Chain A
Amino acid sequence: MISNLAALPIVIPLIVGVLAALFHKKLKLVRVYAQVLTLINTGVVAYILFYVHQNGSVVLESGDWMAPFGIVLVADMLSMTLVLTTNIVAIACIFYAPKSLSQKQEEFYFYTFYFLLISGVSGAFITGDLFNLFVFFEVLLMASYGLIVLGGEKVQLRESMKYVLINLFSSMLFVTTIAFLYSVVGTVNMAQIAERVGEVEQTGILTTIGILLFFVFGTKAALFPLYYWLPKPYIAPNPVISALFGALLTKVGIYSLLRVFSLIFVHERDVTHEFFIWIAALTLIFGSIGALSTNNIKLVVAYNIIPAVGFMLIGIGVYNSTGFSGTVYYLVHDMIIKAALFLLVGAVAYLAGTSDLRKIRGLIHHYPLLGWMFFISAFVLAGIPPFSGFVGKLVLLQGAMEADRIIIAIIGLGSSLLILLSVIRIFIRGFWGEKDESITPNRNAARGFIMPVAFLLFFSVLLGVGAEWFYPSIESIGDYLMNPENYIESILKE
């Protein structure tokens, strides 16, 4: 009975989303409905996380088909932490949405896509079955396709084509790779795959299959040299949608990498994980260079997704408990701050009437609160204490240095500076400077934008200043990932 808890974070948004389609034109109703149910779902997820924290992982064998034969849903600390973060981001977005979306966009099933996106993301975090992971990937991708084309602007359609095509290709590669893996180990249950791959010490073709999977997830996670599709399509739709994408989609990719390369393909680390370190370094370097390359403030934030993913890959590559903890902490941090930043630059672009930094100045005189929130976000992003980014970065770098990976740690530090420069120049040029008298401040709109961002920043500060409330749990996730037999046993309990 209690094991059904694991399905709730997937099922609730699914049902809610489908129902939302029934009264999609009654905007006032559907807004309140969406907001209330997002809050309720968050409450449920928080309870499940609490339950898992107290009692250990909850494993649901769907349809009572015992693992590894049926599909298992695994609510462990890692997946539930991420699902909860997803929902926190969702709350901010759902309250921001009415202010930012056009009436038509709302009417054309924004809320349905939104809930199904949440459902798909949660499913991807929770499932314990590789093929089912593919299915949830498709759910969240399809919802994202629906969101990215919402509105049907010229730019959107153009960028959506690229987005859909590259993701479609990587999905096809994903199913093919699952088939290869099935041929070798005869199963699609992740725990059993892990067990079997371990038994044969990851011989023969298995490592190559692992690398193919790395490319599948790496494309979703936007790693070097696979991230080309990310920046432009992410800024084409409405800021709310950008925020959902930036916060959630790439993170599902990095989560999958974390799961698969801590659980399954861990026996040829000289090849795979060594390779990750290099990829991480290149991702950090090219990502931060990208962030500096543009004067489009939305694009700056979109590019900043990339080095963050590079950071998280460090933790996977160094393969120690500290590194894993760092990756998880950074993952939570990054989901929140990326959403906040996308919402912020969305608000700035809306209020200033342009997203070209060269045309914006002196905004702080009109919108002081917005300015200071941006200022804080810049430091959160760059990992300056006492905010969440610092804790994540510190633990990651500790992990790297414990593993004698000094160079990657130094690259990480260096890219922090570039990241800071890339966002602080928005503050200096866009917010500082002489007051732009041509703008008539729209304080009402600004207030609507500020609350959701403040909500997110509250968590960024909390995760930094109050790190002690979170870190011990995250640290235990790190240990848990280092010992995959825990995961395997909890599912295949024979």
Chain B
Amino acid sequence: MEIIMSILAGVLFTTGVYNLLQKQMLRIIIGTALISHGAHLFILTMGELKTGAPPILEDNIELYTDPLPQALILTSIVISFGVTSLLLVLAYRASKENGTDNMEKLRGNEND
């Protein structure tokens, strides 16, 4: 299953990167969201899957899944959320201000 999950995460990265390489802001941001999903899936997979019960201690259970990756993912989810929100507002503002949501048109030149 870990192999399949790795491939799935790889697919998420692939589609994310592909979207990132587009011109339109919305697509680019969708790309970043996909990449962060992929990253979280990788973290989870790296902690081995289904090796035991959820890491909530109960008597007479010996095996638990690895709690650390879960903690890391939680932190990362929250951070990604913050960044994505900012990015969304920024993209909105940037496109309004510059009158286009095409990143290829937002190149600028030397002196501005």
Contacts and interface: CB of A to CB of B under 8 A. Distances in A.
Interface string B3-27: 0000000000000000010000100
Interface stretch (A81-89, A159-167, A244-252): A159-167
Given A158-B108, A169-B35, A176 B87 contact: no
Contacts of A175: 39, 43, 72, 76
A356 interface: yes
A38 interface: no
B32 A178 contact: no
A356 B87 contact: no
B43 A179 contact: yes
| Residue among A161, A171, A178, A183 with the highest chain B CB neighbour number at 10 A | A161
Contacts of A142: 82-83, 86
B35 A152 contact: no
Contacts of A157: 90, 93-94, 97-98
A299 B83 contact: no
Contacts of B111: 295-296, 355-356
Q: For chain A, give the interface size range.
A: 35 or more
Interface string B82-112: 1100110011011001100001001010111
B46 interface: yes
Contacts of B72: 131, 175, 178-179, 188
B75 A135 contact: yes
Interface string A395-420: 00000000000000000000000000
Contacts of A165: 20, 28, 32, 87
A324 B82 CA distance: 37
B26 to A, nearest CB: 12
Nearest to A359: B111
A161 B76 CA distance: 21
A296 B108 contact: no
B98 A158 contact: yes
B90 A149 contact: yes
Nearest to B86: A145
A182 B46 CA distance: 7
A165 B91 CA distance: 10
B110 A164 contact: no
A485 interface: no
A371 to B, nearest CB: 22
B78 to A, nearest CB: 10
Contacts of B103: 161-162
B110 A299 contact: yes
B12 to A, nearest CB: 11
A173 B93 CA distance: 27
Given A135-B75, A145-B86, A179-B42, A161 B106 contact: yes
Contacts of B46: 179-180, 182-183
A144 to B, nearest CB: 11
A493 interface: no
A295 to B, nearest CB: 7
A60 B43 CA distance: 27
A182 to B, nearest CB: 6
A138 B25 contact: no
Interface string A164-197: 1100110111011011101100001000000000
Contacts of B90: 145, 149, 157, 160-161, 164
Nearest to A148: B90
B47 to A, nearest CB: 7
Contacts of B32: 165, 168-169, 172
A294 interface: yes
B97 A172 contact: no
A155 B109 CA distance: 10
Contact of A172 (B25, B36, B68): B36
B58 to A, nearest CB: 22
A173 B83 CA distance: 15
A72 B72 CA distance: 16
B53 interface: no
Given A175-B39, A175-B72, A138 B83 contact: yes
A355 B28 CA distance: 32
A403 to B, nearest CB: 36
A28 interface: no
A295 B20 contact: no
A296 B112 CA distance: 9
A295 B111 CA distance: 8
A168 B87 contact: yes
Contacts of A180: 42, 46
Contact of B35 (A155, A172, A182, A356): A172
A232 interface: yes
Contacts of A152: 93, 97
Interface in A291-312: 294-296, 299
Given A157-B97, A182-B68, A295 B110 contact: yes
Contacts of B82: 142
Given A145-B86, A161-B90, A176-B39, 7 more contacts: A155-B112, A160-B94, A168-B32, A176-B42, A183-B46, A232-B108, A296-B111
Interface of A: 131, 134-135, 138, 142, 145, 149, 152, 154-155, 157-162, 164-165, 168-169, 171-173, 175-176, 178-180, 182-183, 188, 232, 294-296, 299, 355-356
7 contacts: A155-B108, A158-B98, A159-B108, A161-B25, A176-B43, A178-B43, A232-B108
